[in-house]
Amino acid sequence: MREPFANPLQLPESPPGGPGAGLLSGLWKGLASVAGLAWGPAAVLAGREGAERDERLGRVPALSGYGSSSRHGPRVWIHASSVGEAGVAHAVARALWDMAPATEVFVSATTSTGLARAREIFGDRAAGTAFAPLDAPFAVARALSRVRPKVLAMVETEIWPNWLAEARRRGIPTVLVNGRLSGRSISRYLAVRPLFARALSGMSAFSMISTGDAARIARLGAPTGRIFVGGNAKYDDLARPRPGDREGARDLLGLSPGTPAWVAGSTRTGEEEAVLAVHRRLLEALPGAVLILAPRHLRRTDRVQALAGRAGLGVQRLSKIRAQGRDPGRPVILVDTMGELFTLYGAADAAFVGASLAPKGGQNPLEPACWGLPVLFGPHMNDFAEAKAVLTRHGGGETVAQAGELYARVRHFLENPREARETGRRARRAVDSLAGAAEAHARVIANLLY
């Protein structure tokens, strides 16, 4: 396991006292209960019926005993919010199973997309899956009675006071895994620090992503003796391309050998204009070059296509290519389908990661790095600062401050494929250097289980 931020893991023996401690706890519990009760009817009114409605109210699938015919081990409940956290939960669970194969894992998620992703990646290896119950005492109590976990693990920023209070009342250890707390959000949380401190004091462990995250949660009142730093398990969940995957990606897009191509992935408003202007200039030097353009939000696809038309660039949508084949006379491939960006990076020779020229915090630059691509990003990578730093340090990623720099670097890599491949190899080494965080977080859970 990685070095702890402070002291070795120790479990709390009793809740801290002090003037007003009970009042603050009751206040938070009351506020959270009101919010939860308000959410219940809202969920039904929004069309959440049947199994989802029942699970939100705590009627999750009942699980008997500890274990099944195939495992018979202690049960861990891992809660994730959405799609990204579900991937982290899976990476941590895999590491936990490597340490203790008999361990059962029950998975919950807040969003429907997160639950669908959890069911997809866990398959029948999970002891069960469900929508997360409302953070209201009756719903949480009912869910915990049905699942009966030995440890409750919350992923990243999922800190729910009634969950924590009810688990503590039942003697169930609670742990935050892959914990993160951004510098941008800390000021908001500090405004209600006494409430956070009370909730955090009852948690058994905090396995954080970075020393910065560890320091920030300590400022909120987490006991430093229970704080660990394990790295970002999201990187352990990154897919690793297999031999032949790159050829398959190029075949999907109808790209013949030697056709230079680059991806602009997860772009946001204001970035597409710059990317399209860059590609128009590239075509003057490299007439056959192809841009694979993937807006972050599919609802903007029509607008992006209109922008390309105004720039004088022919566009073909990915869905049309699938149905009709690629038209070589259209140099822009517009991605209009969900969940395919990672695969499409494999068709390119270089990549630009969006939400970074625009001040949107960036997107994950390690996905194209997994394919061994040189990775370019703008100056606004606040949400992926660690990944950016690692890529830059290994020489696999570069910051481009504006469209002119983006043009120069993309052109350089497309015209110098040997250098592009070497830079891509360094990018892949950067990804490999980040592996192992899931094991560190899983070890903290295992220390509570055994």
Catalytic residues: 85
CB atoms under 10 Å from CB of 225, counted, come to: 15
CB-based contacts of 313, cutoff 8 Å, min separation 6: 276, 279, 280, 291, 330, 331, 332
How does DSSP classify residue 6? S
Q: Where are the alpha helices (DSSP H) in 123-244?
A: 137-147, 161-169, 186-190, 193-201, 211-219
Tally of CB atoms within 10 A around 111: 16
What's CA 16's distance to the chain center, in Å?
34
Q: Are 84 and 234 in contact (CB under 8 A)?
A: yes
**Pair 249, 346: CB distance under 8 Å:** yes
Give the separation between CA 427 and CA 374, rounded to whole angstroms. 7
**Sign of the Cα pseudo-torsion (409, 414, 418, 420, in order):** positive
3-state helix, strand, coil in the chain (%, to 5): 50, 15, 35
Q: Which of 271, 311, 323, 328 is nearest to 294 (CA)?
A: 271
Unique residue bearing structure tokens 């946001």 = 268
The b/e string for 126-143 (b: 16+ C-beta within 10 A; e otherwise) is bbbbbbbbbbbbbbbbbb
Evaluate whether 210 touches 221 at the Cβ level (below 8 Å). Answer: no
In degrees, to the nearest 5, what angle opens at C-alpha 375 toward C-alphas 373 and 378?
A: 165
